Amino acid sequence: MPLLEGHNLSKTYRMGKALVPVLRGASISLNQGEFVAVLGASGSGKSTLMHLLGGLDRPDSSPAGFINFAGVTLSSLSTRALDDYRTRSVGFVFQFYHLLPELSVMENALLPAMVLYGKLGYLRKRSELRARAESLLSELGLGHRLRHRSNELSGGERQRVAIARALINDPPLLLADEPTGNLDTATGSKVLDALLALRSKSSRTMLIVTHDPNTAARADRIVQISDGKVHASA
């Protein structure tokens, strides 16, 4: 059984009076420990697909459409259980980092743990969680940047902080939306190297959506997306 499976997913957005179909019956599956790249042009629906798989958005209602994670259908989850899925089971990395500028590198990396454990739970586990965050950040080459704020970092450093944040709760699934898209080629390659080095130490499943064939080529498997549909693997 695949760890993650999306079947016959459709999504249409309303833009003023117009309806804009983005996904038209897209299907994809990922096995445990697999690294899959979804390759497609801007507007092909790849980011929307990732958002649906990560529980950030819901697909349009369809009798045949569903998303399963570890045998559980996401549409069957309550709002609280879906929040728990996003916090415990999925790590997200985005093109534009989404770091909080008022927080330090360490504090940004710890945010998902604070959400997961709540105030009292976080305080009880604070030493353990800070040690984990420091270890992740050091592995990503940021051990000397722990107290710096995001506006003091380069683009590549910000993305590595975002990777540490995505992994702080040790999720079995990592979803990355154009993680190198806002970086120059050399910096993007180094960020991807760091991400893959961390992945090699676990059985974590990873999905990257990208428009860059060179980034996609680093994956175990590539699937193409165009016109809202996923096509045969490359």
pLDDT digits (tens, 9 = 90+) for 171-196: 999 999 999 888 999 999 988 998 88
Q: What is the mean pLDDT of the chain?
A: 93
Question: Given this model, what pLDDT does residue 63 score?
Answer: 73
- Report whether pLDDT(9) > 80: yes
- Report whether pLDDT(234) > 60: no
Residue type, 157: E
pTM exceeds 0.85: yes
Compute the average pLDDT of residues 113-141.
95
Q: 233: pLDDT confidence band, cut at 50, 70 and 90? A: low
Q: 56: pLDDT confidence band, cut at 50, 70 and 90? A: very high
Both tokens of 204, joined, read 């974590």
Compute the average pLDDT of residues 111-132.
96
Q: Spell out the residues 6+ positions from residue 49 whose beta carbon is closer than 8 angstroms to its own.
A: 6, 9, 23, 26, 28, 38, 209, 225, 230
Question: Given this model, what pLDDT does residue 196 score?
Answer: 87
Lowest mean pLDDT among 5-14, 163-172, 185-194: 185-194
Q: Burial code of 159-189, b = ≥16 C-beta within 10 A, e = fewer?
A: bbbbbbbbbbbebbbbbbbbbbbbbeeebbb
Q: 197: pLDDT confidence band, cut at 50, 70 and 90? A: confident
Question: Given this model, what pLDDT does residue 232 score?
Answer: 66
CA distance 7 to 29: 8
Question: Given this model, what pLDDT does residue 201 score?
Answer: 80
Question: Given this model, what pLDDT does residue 181 score?
Answer: 87
CB 110 within 8 A of CB 133: yes
Locate tokens 């983005």: which residue?
A: 22
Q: Per CATH, is 31-55+80-233 categorized as 1.25.40.80?
A: no
Locate tokens 């570890």: which residue?
A: 70
Question: Given this model, what pLDDT does residue 52 score?
Answer: 96
- Report whether pLDDT(200) > 90: no
Lowest mean pLDDT among 1-5, 6-10, 194-198: 194-198
Lowest mean pLDDT among 83-97, 151-165, 179-193, 209-223: 179-193
Residue type, 214: N
pLDDT digits (tens, 9 = 90+) for 66-110: 999 999 999 999 999 999 999 999 999 998 899 999 999 999 999
